[in-house]
Structure 1
Amino acid sequence: MRTPNLFLIYVTDVERATRFYNDLFEIEPRMITPRYIPYEVAPGVLFALWSGRCDQVTEAPRTSEVGLMIPGGGVKVDALYDVWVAKGVTVYQEPHDDVFGRTFMITDPDGNLIRVSPTD
Protein backbone atom coordinates (compact mmCIF):
# COMPACT_ATOMS: atom_id res chain seq x y z
CA MET A 1 0.00 0.00 0.00
CA ARG A 2 1.25 3.49 -0.79
CA THR A 3 0.99 6.12 1.91
CA PRO A 4 1.91 9.82 1.79
CA ASN A 5 5.47 10.41 2.93
CA LEU A 6 6.17 14.02 1.90
CA PHE A 7 4.31 16.98 3.37
CA LEU A 8 5.15 20.39 1.86
CA ILE A 9 4.67 23.72 3.59
CA TYR A 10 4.70 26.66 1.19
CA VAL A 11 6.83 29.57 2.38
CA THR A 12 7.92 32.85 0.82
CA ASP A 13 11.24 33.24 2.67
CA VAL A 14 12.86 29.83 3.14
CA GLU A 15 15.64 31.10 5.41
CA ARG A 16 13.18 32.81 7.77
CA ALA A 17 10.91 29.75 7.77
CA THR A 18 13.85 27.41 8.43
CA ARG A 19 14.89 29.44 11.48
CA PHE A 20 11.26 29.43 12.70
CA TYR A 21 10.72 25.66 12.35
CA ASN A 22 14.20 24.77 13.66
CA ASP A 23 13.45 26.72 16.82
CA LEU A 24 9.80 25.75 17.15
CA PHE A 25 10.21 21.99 16.77
CA GLU A 26 13.85 21.90 17.97
CA ILE A 27 14.93 19.90 14.92
CA GLU A 28 17.47 20.31 12.14
CA PRO A 29 16.83 19.75 8.42
CA ARG A 30 18.27 16.77 6.54
CA MET A 31 19.72 19.16 3.97
CA ILE A 32 19.50 22.79 2.91
CA THR A 33 18.90 24.00 -0.64
CA PRO A 34 17.94 27.49 -1.81
CA ARG A 35 14.20 26.64 -2.02
CA TYR A 36 13.63 23.23 -0.41
CA ILE A 37 14.33 22.30 3.23
CA PRO A 38 13.32 18.76 4.28
CA TYR A 39 13.03 17.50 7.86
CA GLU A 40 12.78 13.78 8.49
CA VAL A 41 10.00 13.45 11.08
CA ALA A 42 9.84 9.64 11.01
CA PRO A 43 11.76 7.03 9.05
CA GLY A 44 10.99 7.72 5.39
CA VAL A 45 8.58 10.59 6.17
CA LEU A 46 9.53 14.17 5.32
CA PHE A 47 8.06 17.49 6.37
CA ALA A 48 9.54 20.08 3.99
CA LEU A 49 9.58 23.82 3.47
CA TRP A 50 9.20 24.80 -0.19
CA SER A 51 9.54 28.22 -1.76
CA GLY A 52 10.16 27.08 -5.30
CA ARG A 53 7.03 28.74 -6.58
CA CYS A 54 6.79 31.64 -4.13
CA ASP A 55 5.33 33.90 -6.83
CA GLN A 56 2.22 31.69 -6.65
CA VAL A 57 2.45 30.80 -2.97
CA THR A 58 1.55 34.30 -1.78
CA GLU A 59 -1.71 34.12 -3.75
CA ALA A 60 -2.73 30.69 -2.48
CA PRO A 61 -5.23 30.55 0.38
CA ARG A 62 -4.12 28.77 3.55
CA THR A 63 -6.35 25.70 3.61
CA SER A 64 -4.34 23.18 5.62
CA GLU A 65 -2.69 22.82 9.01
CA VAL A 66 0.51 21.35 10.31
CA GLY A 67 -0.46 19.15 13.24
CA LEU A 68 1.54 18.19 16.28
CA MET A 69 -0.15 15.60 18.50
CA ILE A 70 1.53 15.24 21.88
CA PRO A 71 1.02 12.69 24.66
CA GLY A 72 -0.07 13.78 28.12
CA GLY A 73 -3.43 15.38 27.52
CA GLY A 74 -4.49 18.96 28.12
CA VAL A 75 -1.87 19.70 30.75
CA LYS A 76 0.93 19.03 28.25
CA VAL A 77 -0.86 21.00 25.50
CA ASP A 78 -1.13 24.02 27.82
CA ALA A 79 2.51 23.64 28.87
CA LEU A 80 3.73 23.64 25.25
CA TYR A 81 1.54 26.68 24.54
CA ASP A 82 3.36 28.55 27.32
CA VAL A 83 6.78 27.53 25.92
CA TRP A 84 5.89 28.63 22.41
CA VAL A 85 4.34 31.93 23.54
CA ALA A 86 7.60 32.63 25.40
CA LYS A 87 9.39 32.13 22.05
CA GLY A 88 7.23 34.90 20.57
CA VAL A 89 4.99 32.90 18.21
CA THR A 90 1.88 34.42 16.68
CA VAL A 91 -1.15 32.89 18.38
CA TYR A 92 -4.09 32.18 16.10
CA GLN A 93 -6.28 30.38 18.67
CA GLU A 94 -5.60 30.20 22.38
CA PRO A 95 -5.91 26.85 24.20
CA HIS A 96 -9.47 25.56 24.39
CA ASP A 97 -11.32 22.26 24.55
CA ASP A 98 -12.64 20.76 21.33
CA VAL A 99 -14.21 17.42 20.38
CA PHE A 100 -10.75 15.76 20.25
CA GLY A 101 -9.40 17.39 23.42
CA ARG A 102 -7.37 20.43 24.38
CA THR A 103 -5.94 22.35 21.42
CA PHE A 104 -4.44 25.62 20.26
CA MET A 105 -3.14 27.06 16.98
CA ILE A 106 -0.31 29.36 16.02
CA THR A 107 0.91 30.60 12.65
CA ASP A 108 4.30 30.53 11.01
CA PRO A 109 5.69 33.73 9.42
CA ASP A 110 3.73 33.00 6.21
CA GLY A 111 0.42 32.45 7.97
CA ASN A 112 0.46 28.64 7.77
CA LEU A 113 -1.53 27.18 10.66
CA ILE A 114 0.10 24.91 13.23
CA ARG A 115 -2.25 23.03 15.57
CA VAL A 116 -1.24 21.27 18.78
CA SER A 117 -3.57 18.66 20.22
CA PRO A 118 -3.35 15.53 22.35
CA THR A 119 -2.39 12.23 20.80
CA ASP A 120 -5.44 10.36 19.46
Structure 2
Amino acid sequence: MSAPNLFIVYVTDVTESTAFYSTAFEIEPRFTSPRFVEFEVAPGVGLALWSGHASAVAPDAVRTSEVCLNLPGGPGEIDAQFRHWQQLGIEILQPPHDDVFGRTFVARDPDGNLLRVAPVDPA
Protein backbone atom coordinates (compact mmCIF):
# COMPACT_ATOMS: atom_id res chain seq x y z
CA MET A 1 0.00 0.00 0.00
CA SER A 2 1.27 3.47 -0.83
CA ALA A 3 1.46 6.26 1.76
CA PRO A 4 0.98 9.98 1.06
CA ASN A 5 4.29 11.64 0.33
CA LEU A 6 3.40 15.20 -0.71
CA PHE A 7 1.39 17.65 1.35
CA ILE A 8 0.17 20.81 -0.41
CA VAL A 9 -0.59 24.13 1.28
CA TYR A 10 -2.58 26.65 -0.79
CA VAL A 11 -1.10 30.15 -0.79
CA THR A 12 -1.82 33.38 -2.61
CA ASP A 13 1.76 34.61 -3.03
CA VAL A 14 4.29 31.82 -3.61
CA THR A 15 7.30 34.12 -3.24
CA GLU A 16 6.12 35.51 0.12
CA SER A 17 5.13 32.07 1.38
CA THR A 18 8.43 30.51 0.27
CA ALA A 19 10.30 33.12 2.31
CA PHE A 20 7.98 32.54 5.28
CA TYR A 21 8.31 28.72 5.28
CA SER A 22 12.06 28.87 4.60
CA THR A 23 12.50 31.13 7.63
CA ALA A 24 10.01 29.39 9.96
CA PHE A 25 11.29 25.87 9.31
CA GLU A 26 14.89 26.77 8.36
CA ILE A 27 14.73 24.85 5.07
CA GLU A 28 15.28 25.71 1.43
CA PRO A 29 13.06 24.60 -1.45
CA ARG A 30 14.19 21.72 -3.64
CA PHE A 31 11.95 22.77 -6.55
CA THR A 32 10.58 26.17 -7.51
CA SER A 33 8.29 27.43 -10.25
CA PRO A 34 6.14 30.55 -10.55
CA ARG A 35 3.12 28.96 -8.76
CA PHE A 36 4.50 25.83 -7.08
CA VAL A 37 7.38 25.34 -4.64
CA GLU A 38 8.34 22.10 -2.91
CA PHE A 39 10.43 21.54 0.19
CA GLU A 40 11.79 18.10 1.04
CA VAL A 41 10.88 17.62 4.70
CA ALA A 42 12.12 14.01 4.96
CA PRO A 43 13.56 11.58 2.42
CA GLY A 44 10.82 11.08 -0.15
CA VAL A 45 8.35 13.40 1.62
CA GLY A 46 7.52 16.90 0.44
CA LEU A 47 5.68 19.98 1.64
CA ALA A 48 4.52 22.11 -1.29
CA LEU A 49 3.19 25.64 -1.61
CA TRP A 50 0.77 26.14 -4.51
CA SER A 51 -1.09 29.17 -5.78
CA GLY A 52 -2.75 27.29 -8.63
CA HIS A 53 -6.22 27.57 -7.13
CA ALA A 54 -6.45 31.11 -5.78
CA SER A 55 -10.16 30.69 -5.01
CA ALA A 56 -9.21 28.00 -2.48
CA VAL A 57 -7.32 30.55 -0.40
CA ALA A 58 -10.00 33.20 0.02
CA PRO A 59 -9.26 35.16 3.20
CA ASP A 60 -12.43 33.90 4.87
CA ALA A 61 -11.85 30.23 3.94
CA VAL A 62 -12.05 27.86 6.91
CA ARG A 63 -8.67 26.25 7.63
CA THR A 64 -9.24 22.63 8.59
CA SER A 65 -5.72 21.21 8.55
CA GLU A 66 -2.38 22.00 10.13
CA VAL A 67 1.28 21.73 9.23
CA CYS A 68 2.87 20.30 12.36
CA LEU A 69 6.44 20.60 13.55
CA ASN A 70 7.09 17.83 16.09
CA LEU A 71 10.07 18.56 18.31
CA PRO A 72 12.01 16.20 20.58
CA GLY A 73 13.23 17.35 23.96
CA GLY A 74 10.16 18.13 26.03
CA PRO A 75 8.20 21.26 26.94
CA GLY A 76 11.28 23.48 27.08
CA GLU A 77 11.91 22.93 23.36
CA ILE A 78 8.30 23.86 22.53
CA ASP A 79 8.59 27.07 24.56
CA ALA A 80 11.94 27.89 22.94
CA GLN A 81 10.42 27.45 19.46
CA PHE A 82 7.53 29.71 20.50
CA ARG A 83 9.95 32.46 21.57
CA HIS A 84 11.95 32.03 18.34
CA TRP A 85 8.83 32.36 16.17
CA GLN A 86 7.71 35.39 18.19
CA GLN A 87 11.10 37.01 17.46
CA LEU A 88 10.57 36.27 13.75
CA GLY A 89 7.20 38.04 13.90
CA ILE A 90 5.16 34.93 13.14
CA GLU A 91 1.56 35.40 14.21
CA ILE A 92 0.66 33.18 17.17
CA LEU A 93 -2.98 32.13 17.41
CA GLN A 94 -2.71 29.97 20.53
CA PRO A 95 0.18 30.41 22.98
CA PRO A 96 1.97 27.43 24.52
CA HIS A 97 -0.26 25.26 26.66
CA ASP A 98 -0.48 21.66 27.77
CA ASP A 99 -2.83 19.39 25.83
CA VAL A 100 -3.54 15.65 25.82
CA PHE A 101 -0.39 15.00 23.73
CA GLY A 102 1.87 17.46 25.58
CA ARG A 103 3.03 21.05 25.27
CA THR A 104 1.87 22.78 22.07
CA PHE A 105 1.11 26.09 20.38
CA VAL A 106 -0.48 27.20 17.11
CA ALA A 107 0.65 29.90 14.68
CA ARG A 108 -0.42 30.82 11.16
CA ASP A 109 1.19 31.62 7.85
CA PRO A 110 0.40 34.75 5.78
CA ASP A 111 -2.66 33.00 4.24
CA GLY A 112 -4.07 31.83 7.56
CA ASN A 113 -2.89 28.22 7.23
CA LEU A 114 -2.34 26.74 10.68
CA LEU A 115 1.08 25.71 11.96
CA ARG A 116 1.26 23.63 15.14
CA VAL A 117 4.37 22.94 17.18
CA ALA A 118 4.07 19.87 19.42
CA PRO A 119 6.27 17.18 20.96
CA VAL A 120 7.34 14.08 19.11
CA ASP A 121 4.74 11.42 19.81
CA PRO A 122 6.06 8.67 22.09
CA ALA A 123 6.66 5.39 20.28
Q: TM-score, normalised by structure 1?
A: 0.96
The whole-number CA distance in structure 2 between the counterparts of 1:40 and 1:4 is 14
Q: Specify the code of the residue in structure 2 equivalent to 1:29.
A: P
1:103 maps to what in 2? 104
Percent of pairs identical after alignment? 57
1:113 maps to what in 2? 114
Q: Is the 8 A contact 2:57 2:111 kept in 1?
A: no
**Superposition deviation, residue 54 in structure 1:** 0.8
Gaps of 5+ in 1: none
The whole-number CA distance in structure 2 between the counterparts of 1:93 and 1:64 is 15
1:6 maps to what in 2? 6
Q: Specify the code of the residue in structure 1 equivalent to 2:26.
A: E
The equivalences for 1:38-57 within 5 A come to 38-57=38-57
The equivalences for 1:1-120 within 5 A come to 1-58=1-58, 60-120=61-121
Corresponding residue pairs, total = 120
RMSD: 1.0
The whole-number CA distance in structure 2 between the counterparts of 1:61 and 1:33 is 27
Q: Specify the code of the residue in structure 2 equivalent to 1:31.
A: F
Larger deviation: 73-82 or 55-64? 55-64
Q: Specify the code of the residue in structure 2 equivalent to 1:49.
A: L
| SS of 1:104 mapped into structure 2 | strand
**Superposition deviation, residue 99 in structure 1:** 0.3
Q: TM-score, normalised by structure 2?
A: 0.94
**Superposition deviation, residue 55 in structure 1:** 2.8
**Superposition deviation, residue 61 in structure 1:** 2.0
Gaps of 5+ in 2: none
| SS of 2:24 mapped into structure 1 | helix
**Superposition deviation, residue 63 in structure 1:** 0.6
Q: Specify the code of the residue in structure 1 equivalent to 2:72.
A: P
The whole-number CA distance in structure 1 between the counterparts of 2:61 and 2:47 is 19
**Superposition deviation, residue 115 in structure 1:** 0.2
Runs of 4+ in 1 over 6 A off after TM superposition: none
